[in-house]
Structure 1
């Protein structure tokens, strides 16, 4: 990760040292392989001109503002998105507050106020279908023309298709994760799907069964399929452990509990409470089950551990980003 990476709250607070850079614009939820094509073009342009490389994104996701009653499964909440962008080599991410008032900003004002005045952009890189401003009035042609008037370059990037010639999209990846298809999702992300949360207290039943777990509450909107996963667990100090994780409601022992991600770390003893840790998912082993008693549950947990150990012993990084996040 770049040591000087900054998360900046709004374009108006950009430090002077980051003005005049190349800016990639988009929501980039997931920072998937399609996004990475856009982001890599921005990095290349910044390196070519020796200027800062920035990302302009919008928080919360605009869909949550326009459709507040429709939950959105965010692949990468802001801290995880920032971590991924830093690993890719950007200098900063500008997290612009997206409100209904901001959505009323017309396209010309967006260009003049944010891009030209606040950020002082030298070049903008975005996807071919990027629209902005009130009623989405600003499109690719408008952005190109505005760039010519305000003195910055514009690069539009065509959609990225996977090996099956399908467009890689955040919604497609959300669907795969909701079905437990974490390996397919990783192929589209370019890295293993990873969640980050604080480790809290559970009922400590796992400890009495010789399977102590690190318990993490994921956002309510996370629609990852309930079940058992082979995972890598990164502690707050950066130490990495293989493990097996259960995500769900624990039907054998807890009939009305909230969903939890419970990870049993292999070959680890220690206290993880209140540390912010990350879990990278490598494989879906099985669905959540209700067992006839604790003995049957423990027997299955031992089988899950053996399967996860064998699977994780042979994994290799999908990309430099995957190596940085999950290896």
Structure 2
């Protein structure tokens, strides 16, 4: 006798950034999992479908290495299922995607998707089609309407626009959390420590991420369960030109210690000023002191 598989309540989507719309999908999946005595899951892809379909990289809000952790942390689901999106997946019939994959392989007992979710070959799968196929299969289905903030539909595309404009406060309102860069601290050129006497930590910007404008930000750094304010520079440090790749360098306030090799999360809360070349080290140090003051003031407010 075949063992009965535990049913899953599965939320569908790419879940880049885990914004307020994604949270609505996952909240419903968690609720339905409890009702059917199953587990809650997100089913997503390892690469953005548009990068395969359109042949161009889509800038992401969450670094690839951190997507699973962020989805589980912010969505409260039991598991995250990553499907490999390639030409074969692109050509899959939308009914086959539901019956063979979601129900047959992953034992979906309930499926949750957004109103505008498209899936299967040429995006022929729709919310209406999903509802009908789930009814035929005898499983539950919820279609979640668009979530709006001030009348604007929450979407990863719109949030990327806000990030590209340096509107970190706007991005946070639509995300439901600050835009965050996650990475492992690397050894830099020690300019901050040796020349400026302002110790910073050095992170490589993940190449797949949506880049905010180069400049200085009021930020918060999370590491080892602690939180520190940080005046944070993103860019190429034009006062010390070396042709290097752009980096993110938080100057942690009220912190002393060694963070090399540690995973840190840098929350960007407010754009303070564009990156620019200074005429002297003294002028740059004065600007950094002002940015530190602005960072403290922002978080006190």
Question: Shorter-chain TM-score category?
Answer: over 0.9
1:289 aligns with one of 268, 271, 276: 276
**Contact 2:235/2:246 (8 A) holds in 1:** yes
Give the structure 1 partner of residue 60 of structure 2. Answer: 74
**Relative to 1, partners in 2 of residues 1:267 and 1:18: Cα closer, same or farther, differing over 3 Å?**
farther
Give the structure 2 partner of residue 196 of structure 1. Answer: 182
1:277 aligns with one of 260, 264, 289: 264
Q: What's the CA shift for 1:161?
A: 1.3
Q: What's the CA shift for 1:83?
A: 2.4
- The alignment partner of 2:118 has SS state of coil
- The alignment partner of 1:94 has SS state of strand
Give the structure 2 partner of residue 64 of structure 1. Answer: 51
Q: Deviations over 1:131-179 (max 9, x none)?
A: 211122221222112112222111111111112x111111111011111
CA distance in 2, matches of 1:272, 1:293: 29
TM-score (norm 2): 0.94
**Relative to 1, partners in 2 of residues 1:91 and 1:18: Cα closer, same or farther, differing over 3 Å?**
farther
Give the structure 1 partner of residue 222 of structure 2. Answer: 234
Give the structure 1 partner of residue 230 of structure 2. Answer: 243
RMSD value over aligned CA atoms?
Answer: 1.7
**Counterpart mapping for 1:44-193 below 5 A:** 44-68=31-55, 70-87=56-73, 88-163=75-150, 165-193=151-179
The reply on whether 1:216 has 2:228 as its aligned counterpart is no
**Relative to 1, partners in 2 of residues 1:200 and 1:102: Cα closer, same or farther, differing over 3 Å?**
same
**Contact 2:36/2:109 (8 A) holds in 1:** no
The reply on whether 1:311 has 2:295 as its aligned counterpart is no
Q: What's the CA shift for 1:65?
A: 1.1
Task: Structure 2: state its 5+ residue gaps.
Answer: none
Q: What's the CA shift for 1:213?
A: 0.8
TM-score (norm 1): 0.86
CA distance in 2, matches of 1:126, 1:73: 23
CA distance in 1, matches of 2:225, 2:266: 12
**Relative to 1, partners in 2 of residues 1:276 and 1:145: Cα closer, same or farther, differing over 3 Å?**
same
**Contact 2:63/2:206 (8 A) holds in 1:** no
Q: What's the CA shift for 1:18?
A: 7.8
Q: What's the CA shift for 1:203?
A: 0.7
**Contact 1:232/1:241 (8 A) holds in 2:** yes
**Relative to 1, partners in 2 of residues 1:306 and 1:67: Cα closer, same or farther, differing over 3 Å?**
same
CA distance in 2, matches of 1:216, 1:196: 8
Mean Cα displacement is larger for which, 171-180 or 80-89? 80-89
CA distance in 2, matches of 1:181, 1:18: 46
CA distance in 1, matches of 2:57, 2:33: 36
- The alignment partner of 1:202 has SS state of coil
Q: What's the CA shift for 1:96?
A: 0.7
Task: Structure 1: state its 5+ residue gaps.
Answer: 1-15, 315-327
